[in-house]
Amino acid sequence: MAAPVERSAVRDAVREHVRDPVGEQGRGPDVLGALILGGCAVWPLISAAGRDGRPEGALLAVLAVTAGYVFGRISGSLVPVATATVVSVGALVAALVSSHALVSSHETFGTAMAVVTPYGDTGAVTALLVLAAGAACCAGTAARRPTVRTVLRLQALAIAGTASLLGSFVGFIAALGVLLCSLAAARMRRRLLALAGLGLVTALVVGTSWAVAERALPEGLSVSLEGQLTQYRVALWHDAVELATANPVLGAGPDRFGDLSPTVSESLDTDGKPHSAPLQQAAEQGVVGVLLLGGAFGWLLYGLGRSPCSTPVVLTAGATLTALAAIASVGNALSFTPVTAGASLLAGLATARKAAGPA
């Protein structure tokens, strides 16, 4: 009887290896992440040296990313499905609370969410809804019981519906897209090709926003995009490009865009941000800041590519991070700590190595 048991154990090990061809994650992603996060912490201090820059916000963002990623790695090795479910519910509650605050600060419900306004909170609400849907999809993909998997995917669909009810059309489309990508990921085996495609989508969104800021697009297309983005946002982007051109290496200094932007100074109600993470980095921290921001996103995709988790979980998390990156490219989502911490926590969950069980 011992021989059949041993052969069964060998077959199970082979199936597990075939199911997860990537195997061990290795030290590469961890070393790269430490270098990039270290650079993201040191460079704002260098950019602010000798000027009126305020690097505290950038340092807080690095701390949020680090803490979220570490917690995701730890909890993902122990209770990944439960942690992802809690993240989903927490992000949804945070989005509802934020949207209620927006409604209270505006005259009508439609003005708060349906129209793109200078307020950065609308981008944060959209990002939180997408994060909630992505975390639910990751939990559903990782769940073993079909009933639990179905319930969690219905939860993601309900979150997309909530975004529609709140008037966030972008949030509805992004959350629904993450859910569809999660369903499609169950049949995909080549994660590297899919992750490369997600990176290309992000680069396309960033490049388009930069082209709008540089006035490099054809007039008809530029006018159409400005109608969707609003002239106020595009004017902020133009100011960011001018600041980046005047200070290409060091930038104008962390958190100084609101002090130097003519558009911000002429507005009575603004948060002092350019509403685009890459353009804000270029204006305040120069080309090095942009490279560090792009390197951080590339590190997350690289870590997902080397993750020991199953390919469907990895691609679901990658689709969520791509949607968040696209929103941050045309909004102010990354200026809110819950968004950055939640995104890094989800990445940590999707790159965690299962804890060793009893022999």
Label residue 275 left, alpha or beta by phi (over 0 means left) and psi (-120 to 50 means alpha): left
pLDDT at 101: 59
- Most confident option among 22-36, 81-95, 228-242: 81-95
- Quickly list DSSP for 251-315: -S-TT-HHHH-HHHHH-SS--S--S-HHHHHHHHHHHHHHHHHHHHHHHHHHHHHT-SS-HHHHH
Q: What is the pLDDT averaged over residues 129-148? A: 95
Question: CA–CA separation, 24 vs 246, rounded Å?
Answer: 46
Q: How confident is the model at residue 51 (pLDDT cuts 50, 70, 90)?
A: confident
Q: Which of 338, 337, 298 is nearest to 321 (CA)?
A: 298
Which of 48-57, 179-188, 290-299 is predicted with the least confidence, judged by mean pLDDT? Answer: 48-57
Task: Report pLDDT digits (tens) over 68-119.
Answer: 999 999 999 999 999 999 999 999 999 998 876 555 544 433 333 333 333 4
Residue type, 185: A
Task: Report pLDDT digits (tens) over 301-326.
Answer: 999 999 999 999 999 999 999 999 99
How far CA 237 is from CA of 21, 96, 179, 274, 354, in Å, comes to 43, 29, 31, 6, 44
How far CA 340 is from CA of 261, 333, 345, in Å, comes to 25, 8, 8
Question: CA–CA separation, 87 vs 339, rounded Å?
Answer: 11
Q: What is the pLDDT averaged over residues 150-173? A: 93
**Do 156 and 182 form a contact (C-beta atoms < 8 A)?**
yes
Q: What is the pLDDT averaged over residues 182-202? A: 92
Question: CA–CA separation, 65 vs 86, rounded Å?
Answer: 18
The model's pTM is: 0.87
pLDDT averaged over every residue in the chain: 85
Q: Which residue has the tokens 């200078």?
A: 118
Where exactly are the structural domains of the chain?
26-350
Burial class for 193, CB neighbours closer than 10 Å (0-12, 13-18, 19+): exposed
What percent of the chain is modeled with pLDDT above 70?
85
Give helix then strand counts, H and E, for the chain.
Answer: 16, 0
Q: What is the pLDDT averaged over residues 1-23? A: 44
